[in-house]
Structure 1
Amino acid sequence: MKSWLKKVMLFGLIAGSAFVLPTTIFAEANAEELEGTMIELEEGMNHNEIIEDAQQYIEEHLSDSFAGLYVDREEKQTGVIVLMFTESIADEHRQALEGFAKQPEDIEIREVDYTEEQLIEKQREIDQDGFEYDDFSIYYTGVDIIDGKVEVGIDPLNEENIQFLQDKYGEELIDVVEGEQATTLEMTTMDAEMESQQLEDKVVTTQQEQDDERNFFQKIIDTLKGWFS
């Protein structure tokens, strides 16, 4: 083969490879950039930095009355940080906490009756007493930090059972609701076989894609070796 033709073909192959490789690298770079942007958006939506600053300030100045916090997204999509205290806090502390946010309305300070730890302790007490009673069963318990109560799911739900639990644990601390026993669906043999086959097909497809990519570049290398051997 004439040398000038070899050079033209070599240039074409190298140019083609150069187009494929940067495209792959560019796609990977874009994926990394997108992932970084998503992480930044998630941190912004969760107000991580503001919460950390507020928690540090509270630890230094308001730890005795701090009841807990959460992000309320009902009225604002980006969320409002709700800081809860068991007593009113001084204006200087309120202003300092609001100053951590870009806008003062991004932080709400609320006065509540119980701390999150007190609610958790009450939940532990209920759980330790057991879930089976003569007239009803407790199917779950959970801390509702927003309403400041421990939610207790029972069955059957009626006035007598509600009153029994309120007398036992305190009406102001618990919210008795209807609960249902959790059930699980068993996977059939056919479901298991289908899931296994899907996983196997995915592995085969991935391996084939990797082999095709290796074969493409191996052909280029073999061609170049043939020209200059």
Structure 2
Amino acid sequence: MKSWLKKPMLFGVIAGSAFVLPTTIFAEANAEELEGTMIELEEGMNHNETIENAQQYIEEHLSDSFAGLYIDREEKQTGVVVLMFTESIADEHRQALEGFAEQPEDIEIREVDYTEEQLIEKQREIDQDGFEYDDFSIYYTGVDIIDGKVEVGIDPLNEENIQFLQDKYGVELIDVVEGEQATTLEMTTMDTEMDGSMETTDESAQQEEERNFFQKIVDAIKGWFS
């Protein structure tokens, strides 16, 4: 584990909505160094190295039962790598996988009923059968890897239509919810509005870029103390 991750060296003061970073950071670090630091922070929060090592181990030892993975940020902003398997894995494999993380709690091993590929196959089946039925329309389908379901958005949503889809595709694999048809917003513009927007586009883009930059720093530092 990199030393800067063990002991964060950036400190800030939060007063209301203002976030102040020490001037020495910008005085001593040029833009290239700062960009490199942000890349390392992003890679750390995405657990790239942990995931790469875990995937290689799984491919060699646990490929038959591997169901998929994702990063869960609900409890911890820096995220926990969730590895899913369709059956319980031996303690030696569990310990080996946890060893790839900087902290054992950064990896969670979960047992699930279906693999991600099985969910994708079920989604394809639903899509290939079409979206228009006599009593309802399917507006979208999507794989929910966390809950292990294929979400099917329909309209109108009622017990009869839900039962029809569950009988057709299986209650275990699908979650039928209310769907809405995609719409296009009408845009009304006037010449004066267009002229004004042309003048402020570059400035707004620059301000947005600066906000995003500082927000990344704020989010990263918050993660250290969560």
Q: Flag the 1:190–1:66 CA change in 2: closer, same or farther, 3 A.
A: same
Instruction: Between 9-18 and 86-95, report the one with greater CA deviation.
Output: 9-18
Contact 1:13 1:220 in 2 (8 A): no
Contact 2:76-2:223 within 8 A present in 1 as well:
no
Contact 2:13–2:19 (Cα < 8 Å) also in 1? no
**Shift in CA distance, 78/163, structure 1 to aligned 2, threshold 3 Å:** same
Take 1:4 and 1:97, find their aligned partners in 2: how far apart are those partners? 23
Cα separation, partners in 2 of 1:159 and 1:34, compared to 1, 3 Å: same
2:200 & 2:24 partners in 1: Cα distance? 24
C-alpha deviation, 1:204, in angstroms? 11
Change (3 A) 1:7 1:191: same
5+ long unaligned stretches in structure 1: none
Please name the residue that 1:117 is paired with. 117
Deviations 1:145-186 (A, max 9, x none): 000000000011100000000000000000000111111113
- C-alpha distance in 1 between matches for 2:4 and 2:65: 84
The structural deviation recorded for 1:208 is: 18
* Structure 2 Cα separation of the partners of residues 108 and 223 of structure 1: 21
Q: TM-score, normalised by structure 1?
A: 0.73
Higher helix share: 1
- Per the TM alignment, residue 37 of structure 1 is displaced from its structure 2 partner at its CA by 1.5
Q: Which shifted more, 28-37 or 93-102?
A: 28-37
In the alignment, the residues of structure 1 paired with residue 11 and residue 81 of structure 2 have an alpha-carbon distance, to the nearest angstrom, of: 60
Question: 5+ unaligned residues in a row in structure 2: which ranges?
Answer: none
**What are the equivalent positions in structure 2 for 1:189-208 lying under 5 Å apart?**
189-190=189-190, 194=194, 198-199=197-198
Give the conservation status (yes or no) of the 8 Å contact 1:153–1:180.
Answer: yes
Q: Is the 8 A contact 2:94 2:109 kept in 1?
A: yes
SS of 1:37 mapped into structure 2: helix
Task: Figure out how many residues of one structure are paired with residues of the other and give that number.
Answer: 225
Larger mean CA deviation between 172-181 and 8-17 belongs to: 8-17
Q: 1:130 to 1:86 in 2, by over 3 A?
A: same
User: CA distance change for structure 1 residues 189 and 58 in 2, over 3 Å: closer, same or farther?
Assistant: same
1:164 & 1:63 partners in 2: Cα distance?
A: 35
Moved more, 174-183 or 24-33: 24-33
Give the C-alpha shift of residue 188 in structure 1.
2.8
Distance in 2 (CA, whole Å) between partners of 1:48 and 1:26 is: 27
Shift of 1:140: 0.6
Alignment partner, residue 186 of structure 1: 186
User: Which of 1 and 2 has greater Rg?
Assistant: 1
Which position in structure 2 is the counterpart of 1:156?
156
Which region of structure 1 is more displaced relative to structure 2, 22-31 or 53-62?
A: 22-31
Answer with 98-107 or 184-193: which moved more.
Answer: 184-193
The answer to whether the 8 Å contact 2:13/2:20 transfers is no
Q: Distance in 1 between matches of 2:107 and 2:4?
A: 72
Compute the displacement of 1:34 (Å).
2.1
Q: Partner of 1:146: helix, strand, or coil?
A: coil
Q: CA deviation at 1:33?
A: 2.2
CA distance, structure 1, for counterparts of residue 93 and residue 10 of structure 2: 72
**TM-score normalised by the chain length of structure 2:** 0.73
Q: Note if contact 1:6-1:227 (Cα within 8 Å) is conserved in structure 2.
A: no
Q: Cα distance 1:217–1:43, how it changes in 2: closer, same or farther (>3 A)?
A: closer
Please report the RMSD computed on the Cα atoms of aligned residues, expressed in angstroms: 15.9
